[in-house]
Chains A and B, each alone.
Chain A
Amino acid sequence: MSLIEIEGLRKVYRSPFLRREVVGLEQLDLSVEKNEIFGFLGPNGAGKSTTLKILTGIIQATAGSAKIAGQPVGTPAAREILGFMPEFPTFHDFLRAEEFLTFYGELSGMRREALPTRIDEVLSLVGLPGVQDRPLRGFSKGMLQRIGLAQAVLHDPDLVILDEPMSGLDPVGRRDVRRLMEGLKAQGKTVLFSSHVLNDVEEVADRITVVREGRNVLSGTIESLLSGQRFELVVRQQPASGAWTKTAEGYHCYCEHEEAAQLAVRALSEAGISIVRCQRERRSLEELFFLDVSEEDSP
């Protein structure tokens, strides 16, 4: 059984007085397995935050089903194993950091005597040691993002859902969030996160799904999605035939499939040309993302 199971999820926002309807999610199917880092991608308005809000009980789906650990979302039972940080988190800023985390610990049913030690642990984990007595009102944007992460992992949840966790963070902060996610995975936890920072997703996610206009348009493991069909060949001397391009490494060209690459390697070897590299082309997630956008946009 998958940890998160979503089938045919649909959300329509209705304006009560204007009778206007906006479709937030059209038809979303998704499953997130235990102990993986799952990236949720898509342009603005694609339905990422809507999906995460349904999963965390903030809004209700219009149709379809969504379950966490077999429990229908929207019930406290489904949120038992959940930690959540929303996009651009805002908190009760009149609280001090320790009071803030104590409040969330008590809401999660943590034992009161275990809280001080755990608070020290999570503050160190998110890179905010020693801020226990500081009011949240004086926190920078990056610090608020970090304390938001701290409240999400405070009660040691099995599933952590993060909506745009890297937004507002400097490169060091982004690296720390990536490490935090990897650390959670190493502890056997599952992370579902949405992001616009494609490099970060590529670096940390095991599987991704791309949503557009409320539907999944692309899903799979990072490896399967980024590995292209073409093979890249790089040689030292320029061969007599073929479309070779001069680069710093030597001369390179692309073969459209594996058999063509094998034939080319054989021919080059017979011609005595030394081969620097012959490997399957790997696209970046950014290239894949924009390729998908241009395919969608073309008439």
Chain B
Amino acid sequence: MKFYPQREDLRQDPTRGGPWFNVDVKVGGRLIFSSCGNNDKPFNRFVISKEGLFPIIQNIISYDAEISRNQNLVSDIAQTINNEKSKVFEGYIITHFWLGSHNDNTAVSLVNLLSVADITGRSGGWIEAMLMRIVSRQGNGAMAPDTRNFVISHLVEVGAGDSENSRYAIHLLALFAGAGKVDLKSYVDEEKRQRLVTNYQKFDTKILSPREKSEFERQLMIN
């Protein structure tokens, strides 16, 4: 018997139609779930009955304990996303970054992710938002020049590449250009410029403001 959202569930978590959504309840069936909140008002964030996902979830729990001790593990993330057939890991890691502190290390991890991982559109949007936030920081929290160079040069590589992720990189570069955060001429040679232009021509420019569009095109000498 499968259970679908109930009024009470929706109150618990309005973002996804209740934590008991799609749970198969049967005698002998196993569940994996979270119990959150204080004793007065505990609640489930998720309840999963699909046993095929249990090993992935257990791996992620171990991974999360390790990643908080060893940040170098972050470099494995992109490969893990590509190796995992399920999208659980991708959803986990993007949220992990979103909930964490958005600093230079995060920016490096996120561009590495764009460089290697086959990510979904939803993750692309989150990565764009986080990178834009980090790059826009000013004063004491401003990005270090070395990190900025690393981030921009990697975005240029991805934007000029053949992967589906090139659209996120181009979008970010156009946002940075429009905000006066980058001068692309110092990051591209003629070959990269041409490949960026080719990918940009396939890109939906309607999502750019007139300023972002004109500045990006000016820097890449389009038209």
Query: Do A and B associate with each other?
Result: no
Please list the residues of chain B having a beta carbon within 8 angstroms of any beta carbon in chain A. none
Please list the residues of chain A having a beta carbon within 8 angstroms of any beta carbon in chain B. none
